[in-house]
Amino acid sequence: MLVRDILNESALDFALAGMDSPRLDAEILLSFCLGCERLDFFKNPAMPINEETLVSFQKLKARRLAWEPVAYITSQKEFWSFTLEVNNSVLIPRPDTEVLVEEALKVCRQLDSAEIKILDIGTGSGAIALALAYEIPLARLTATDVSAAALATACKNAESLDLASQVEFLQGSLFEPVDDFFDIIVANPPYIADEEYDKLPVGVKDYEPPEALRAGVEGLDFYRKIIAAAPGHLKNNGWLLLEIGATQGRRIGDIFEASGQYRDISIRNDYAGLPRVIKARRESSG
Ligand code: SAM
Ligand code: GLN
């Protein structure tokens, strides 16, 4: 068989199954099998595929048809300007989360020194912490997660990206393993409400770790805890930045207001125009 025939056939099967990006998925899986770039398919669509490659591709295709995310099949996902290793102990980093990185970088530029201390709570694959470490070479990052398997993955990613010397990884729940003060605290906490969780696409619900997504009846459990406890770990005027679900902005804004510990509360939309990041500054204590 030729590359173009396999791609056409698989893209059609994925489309019939109802997948969002059938052609792209087929190309990523085939390039993964062949160890080539997707661009090579455009250059040489009539490239023949041997039997062995075809058999391994068919196995990956079957996994995709059972809705396993492409990133778990290939064990990798692009985030920011690099590729991260992922597995089913970590959430697959979403492009939306790059908006949180952008906002954190804006805040960093307003600070006097480049020797910034940043805490990333619930680091998962390490996506946010590693993007910030990469962009601000003098920053010191602390990245936590309750999941030891997630932390091991984040640590591995830090090593592959040559960023390990900038990032300290600590296991534990929320602020429990942290004994320090930071200029900036960031988090993309679990924010899916119980009722919404049941309605998530199969590819998310059956494959991604529930502890990375579920956040109680209203999806606000982690916001309440983080917003209440963060001032105890922020320097004077330090910033807290949180990724939020598209419908949660107002309620989370109210939680910030009600705590009385913050000022300059604002929301940033993502590139789809949906509220995605909320940030606020710790009220200075005299
Ligand atoms: N920061 C990564 C990202 O943006 O791709 C992962 C975000 S994922 C939505 C939430 C992460 O929080 C998961 O890695 C999960 O293991 C972690 N987590 C869940 N409960 C936690 C807790 N009580 N304390 C610390 N981390 C927790
Ligand atoms: N954006 C993720 C989703 O919709 C949720 C991430 C989170 O809970 N922080 O599946």
CATH no. for 88-282: 3.40.50.150
Consecutive H or E run containing 3:
helix 3-17
Domain boundaries, the chain: 3-66, 88-282
> For a pocket test of ligand 2, which of 72, 213, 243 has the largest count of ligand atoms closer than 8 A to its C-beta?
213
Q: Which ligand is nearest to the CA of 276?
A: 2
CATH number of 3-66, picked from 1.10.8.10, 3.20.20.10, 3.40.50.1000, 3.90.660.10: 1.10.8.10
Query: Cα torsion at 42, 44, 45, 51 (round to 10°)?
Result: -130
CB 97 near ligand 1, within 6 Å: yes
Tokens describing residue 194: 């119980």
Say how many Å lie between the first and final Cα of the chain, rounded.
Answer: 73
Q: How far is the CA of 245 from the centre of ligand 1 (A)?
A: 14
- For the chain, the 3-state helix, strand and coil shares in percent, each to the nearest 5, are 45, 20, 35
pLDDT digit string, tens, across residues 83-129: 999 999 999 999 999 999 999 999 999 987 778 999 999 999 999 99
Is 190's C-beta closer than 6 angstroms to any atom of ligand 2? yes
Distance 272 CA to ligand 2 centre (A): 15
Burial class from Cβ neighbours inside 10 Å (0-12, 13-18, 19+) for residue 42 reads exposed
Atom of ligand 1 nearest to the CA of 213: 9
User: How far apart, in whole angstroms, are the C-alpha atoms of residue 128 and residue 184?
Assistant: 12
Atom of ligand 1 nearest to the CA of 97: 4
Decide: 147 in ligand 1 pocket, CB within 6 A.
yes
pLDDT tens-place string over residues 2-34? 999 999 999 999 999 999 999 999 999 999 999
User: Nearest Cα to 239, choosing from 187, 188, 183?
Assistant: 183
**Would you say the CATH fold of 88-282 matches that of 3-66?**
no
| pLDDT tens figures, 119-140 | 999 999 999 999 999 999 999 9
Residue 35 has pLDDT above 70, yes or no: yes
